Structure 1
Amino acid sequence: MLYSAKDYQRVRKEKEELDLGRSQFRRDFARLLHSPAFRRLQGKTQLFPGHESDFFRNRLTHSLEVAQIAKGLAQQINKRTPAFKRRSIDLDLVEFAGLAHDLGHPPFGHNGEHALDDCMKKYGGFEGNAQTLRILSRVEKKIQAAIGPSDDICGITPEGIDRRLGLNLTYRSLAAVLKYDNPIPLRRKKDTPLEKGYYESERELVEKIKAHVGVPTASTKFKTVECQIMDIADDIAYSTYDLEDAMKGGFSHPMQLLAKVGDESLLTKLHEKVAKEVPKVTPDEVFAALTDLFMLNGADTPALEQYTTSKMLASDAKMRSEFTSELIGRFMRGVSVTHGTGADIKFSKVEVAREIRIKIESLKHLNFLLMIMSPRLKVVEYRGYEVVKTIFETLDSEEGHLLLPDDLQVMFGRLTDTDSKKRLICDFVAGMTDRYAVEFYSRLRESGASIFKPI
């Protein structure tokens, strides 16, 4: 059975008005769409800073594209796979997962993520996917557990009990964003790398999710079919549309990228990254995959003609659109499902054909090595790290919590342990948009805005 009654349950029971024709998953979708955390994604960087051009994607537009690709993949699986013709994957749930997948990203993307993780290493760490689960299940200010005085609107009781339930989503919706099935250690050494997973503060919730959704019998890995579809859709969108933004930004064009891959040192780095995702892939396979993607007129076409077409593609909006559209379609057609039986059908393995997976991973990591690691973006990276870390350390100083908004100051005062207080500060900083973080930083270190403008 793909969905059971327990999948639709919530931490706090609510009256479900199903007579209105809206399913529980559609209700979850609506709660996410109307949440402040979702709106703030418009102010968070995807690849290039949003103020540079109206064309470039931000975390919000990226999430919309991931949701559309994820929904398309689910439709494709429902149509092609006999097991899912009878028990269709819920499209609202898959679309929800796509919209929510980047909710936990802090300002300045991975640079802000590393800054917050460095600040939180001794208090449970920070990681974007873990933060997504926390925002949906705790940070968003919609539903609270019935603990404490009924007239007390604070999410923390006077006794220090956290009664916040975030959007109070169904357990199956929460499972759809649980990409990594392991808790992040509460205490880590200063030099340890960023670790993916969920926070110790959400361990009890994850146990409840598994108790309601179930666990796979044929595997030790908890990852629902909807979560897998979202994950693949993210890779497809990220690898393709970051390339389009890079071409629009004048960073490169296909033949220039292919020429750079001809550099042995770059190809070695690229192969190392792809090999982590595609076992036994060879450097020749990586180069061949990119050659197939970037040789726009075929391998037999004269070099000058290839170069001219490549330059034209990068500068012409229609050609760029056709190129990325063809890539998206090609990548999506390479996705299939090996379905489980009985209760394990909800953990069916979503797979990408090896040839297509090599192309997606090669393109994704090439974007990272040549765009994100470029000198122009490294300047932005350095600044973003410094801004986020400075804000956190200031708020974490002796009287720094007095800079928090009024409602968070009340919560901070009621919390009784250091870990929870640090996490509250971390939640606040992680929720900032890039522009708000810069403005907050300027108030701390520069002349700043008017004192009459609220924090």
Structure 2
Amino acid sequence: MYNSVERERISGEPGQESSEAYRTAFRKDFARLIHAPSFRRLQNKTQLYPGIESDFFRNRLTHSLEVSQVAATIAMKLNAEVPELRHASLDTDLVAFAGLAHDLGHPPFGHNGEHALDDLMYRYGGFEGNAQTLRILSRLEKKAANSGATFGDKHGRLGLDLTYRALAATLKYDREIPLTRKKKGLIKGYYSSETKLVEEIKRRVLNGSQPPAKFKTVECQIMDIADDISYSTYDLEDSLKGGFLSPLQILEDIRSNDAVRANVVRKVRAALMESGQTRSAATKTASDDNIIAIAYYIFEQIIPEHHSGKRRDESMQKILSAHSASQTLGADGYTRTEFTSDLIGTFIEGVRFKFNEKHPALSKVWLEEKTLLLVETLKHLNFELVIRSPRLRLVHFRGYEVVKKIFNALSKEDGESLLPKDFQELHAQAGDKAARMRVICDFVAGMTDRYAAEFYERLYGGNHTIFKPI
């Protein structure tokens, strides 16, 4: 499944050095990422709950480790079950790499930081987390530089100097983000500055063949599924542990809160249509009654005397009175771990694969319909009931303002003097305003939540020390 061309590194080095026959090129990519500063910084970037609240909650680093593990497990399952993969198996190191790398480009304060940076950069190439991931891996990390390399940037930067196939595993959205836009609004894709590199990635992965309309490698598809599985399940676990949700509260909201149910239904239908269903089929599958039924199905193992079918409404009073059973899932670690473990196992069992003989790298991976409904319902329930809750919205609003004000301070006249020396040098060498703004954006996007809050405090608050370096 992997040819020598796609194992080559963007510096031009061969993908398998003879002196290191004991490890593959993809294992080396995995190692380079593990040791990268941008990967370490994920430990201080929020996943769902701010890290200062508790050391139990997941952060972007632990989330990425979990996605990596789930993705590798999916690859092992497919290697064992799919006949076409028994002699040309998926590389589990490469799949694990994709899981580790998938959130690398997230700025401080998650999606609100992402929206803040895009609102500031929409006239200069935009900002988007996945695009920033590719930029970090291929440009910003300080592993390799070579002014003569074909696919280095104008400064010769090559990032971690990864293989083309590893970079392909991070390309979730096959779309160039416009260099300029008339209106604000996040666009998922890759930056125009990386367009030629992306074209070369496609050429190498497909061994010179013309890429189809939609390019997404099998490793990237697996990573995307693993991300949805992890996000929907483990963010729920954190919400249960933190007391933000209980099973009975979820069931009551999906039954009685029309706004919540309508949003969940709409998003699940959109996911079904993206998977290939027609609008009418998606509307029928993701009906109000079916979404309510799915929520009951997810929690039925911990709700005593639960009934299905016509007796479901008759048993509702019993369910709503089962308060102790509902609270147990949040308070008892054994029960909670068994619950999430069972969900993960169920979701992984729902992964399906279709081999692409013409382009093996673009073989199709997806969740069968029942599993997709479970994952999407759980994911969007958590979003509506937790992420959109007033307590978290307040934190996210504050993050947007912190990122915006830091960026504005740095982009004012002489504001670049607040940048670290290496960024000052890049800023001085930038050829136009768009390039200067990109330097500032790269610096702010690389901040952790903690560092951004501290930097903001030093600019606008009471922390006036001059002895701590920037």
1:309: Cα distance to partner? 1.2
Tell me the residue number matched to 2:88: 87
Matched, 1:265 2:259: yes
Give the secondary structure class of the aligned counterpart of 1:351.
strand
Tell me how large the CA RMSD over aligned residues is: 1.7
CA distance in 1, matches of 2:455, 2:211: 50
Aligned equivalents of 2:364, 2:409: Cα separation in 1: 46
1:254 aligns with 2:247: yes
1:217: how far off?
7.0
Matching residue of 1:245: 238
TM-score of the aligned structures, taking structure 2 as reference length: 0.91
For 1:10, the equivalent position in structure 2 comes to: 9
* Deviating 4+ runs (over 6 angstroms): 215-218
Secondary structure of 1:164's counterpart equals coil
Task: Describe the SS at the equivalent of 2:412.
Answer: coil
Q: What residue in structure 1 maps to residue 270 of structure 2?
A: 276
Does 2:166 align with 1:179? no
- Residue 232 of structure 2 aligns to a residue whose secondary structure is helix
Compare 418-427 and 236-245 and name the one that shifted more. 418-427
Is 2:205 the partner of 1:213?
yes
TM-aligned CA distance change 1:228 to 1:110, over 3 Å: same
CA drift at 1:241: 0.4
Following the alignment from structure 1 to structure 2, what is the Cα–Cα distance between the partners of residues 210 and 168? 17
1:58-90 Cα shifts (integer Å, max 9, x gaps) = 000000000000000000000000001111000
- Shift in alpha-carbon separation, 1:353–1:307, aligned structure 2, 3 A: farther
Pairwise CA distance, 1:288: 1.5
Partner residue, 2:355: 339
Secondary structure of the equivalent of 1:51?
coil
Q: What is the total number of aligned residue pairs between the two structures?
A: 442
The question of 1:285 aligning with 2:300 is answered no
**What is the TM-score with the length of structure 1 in the denominator?**
0.94
Paired residue secondary structure (2:365): strand
Query: Per-residue deviation at 1:307?
Result: 3.1
Alpha-carbon distance, 1:146 to partner: 3.1
1:194 is aligned to 2:201: no
Per-residue CA deviations over 1:253-293 (Å, capped at 9, x if unaligned) read 11111110112221111111111101313222222211100
C-alpha distance in 2 between matches for 1:187 and 1:224 = 28
Verify: 1:294 aligned to 2:309, yes or no: no
What amino acid is aligned across from residue 236 of structure 1 in structure 2?
A: I
Which stretch shifts more, 314-323 or 48-57?
A: 314-323
2: CA distance, partners of 1:121 / 1:139: 21
Which residue identity lines up with residue 145 of structure 2 in the other structure?
Q
Aligned to 2:110: 109
Q: Distance in 2 between matches of 1:169 and 1:218?
A: 21
Match of 1:43 in 2: 44
* Aligned residue identity for 1:367: N
Is the CA contact (8 Å cut-off) linking 1:71 and 1:94 kept in structure 2? yes
Query: 2:202 touches 2:211 (CA, 8 Å); kept in 1?
Result: no
Contact 1:216 1:222 in 2 (8 A): no
Counterpart-to-counterpart distance in 2, 1:105 and 1:217: 31
Correspondence for 2:217: 224
After the TM superposition, which residues 111-190 of structure 1 pair with which residues of structure 2 at under 5 Å, given as runs?
A: 111-147=112-148, 161-190=154-183
Q: Identify unmatched segments of 5+ residues in structure 1.
A: 149-154
Q: Which amino acid aligns with 1:246?
A: S
8 Å Cα contact 2:119-2:185 kept in structure 1? no
**Alpha-carbon distance between aligned partners in 2 of 1:315 and 1:216, rounded to the nearest angstrom:** 55
Higher mean C-alpha displacement, 246-255 vs 30-39: 246-255
Mapped to 2, the partners of 1:194 and 1:260 lie a distance apart of 30
- Secondary structure of residue in 1 paired with 2:52: helix
Cα deviation 1:309-344 (Å, max 9, x = unaligned): 1111111111111110100000000001011114x1
Sequence identity, in percent? Answer: 54
Deviates more, 1:31-40 or 1:211-220: 211-220
The separation in 2 between residues aligned to 1:304 and 1:114, in whole angstroms, is 39
User: Any idea what SS the aligned residue of 1:52 has?
Assistant: coil
Contact 1:439 1:449 in 2 (8 A): no
Question: Which residue of 1 is the match for residue 441 of structure 2?
Answer: 426
Are 2:235 and 1:236 equivalent residues in the alignment? no
Q: Which amino acid aligns with 1:292?
A: Y
Bigger drift between 53-62 and 209-218 goes to 209-218
The aligned counterpart of 1:404 is 419
The CA deviation at 1:122 is 0.2
Query: Which whole-Å deviations, capped at 9, do the CAs of 1:401-448 have from their partners, x for residues lacking one?
Result: 000001111111111121111111101000000000000001111122
Counterpart CA distance in 2 for 1:7 and 1:176 is 11
**Counterpart check, 1:379 vs 2:394:** yes
CA displacement at 1:362 relative to structure 2: 0.8
- Aligned with residue 325 of structure 1, among 318, 341, 358: 341
1:450 is displaced (CA, Å) by 1.2
**Secondary structure in 1 matching 2:326:** helix
User: Which letter maps to 2:296?
Assistant: T
CA distance in 2, matches of 1:440, 1:147: 36
Task: Answer with 426-435 or 139-148: which moved more.
Answer: 139-148
- Equivalent residue for 1:416, pick from 431, 435, 452: 431
State the distance in 1 between where 2:422 and 2:260 align: 50
Q: 1:29 to 1:285 in 2, by over 3 A?
A: same
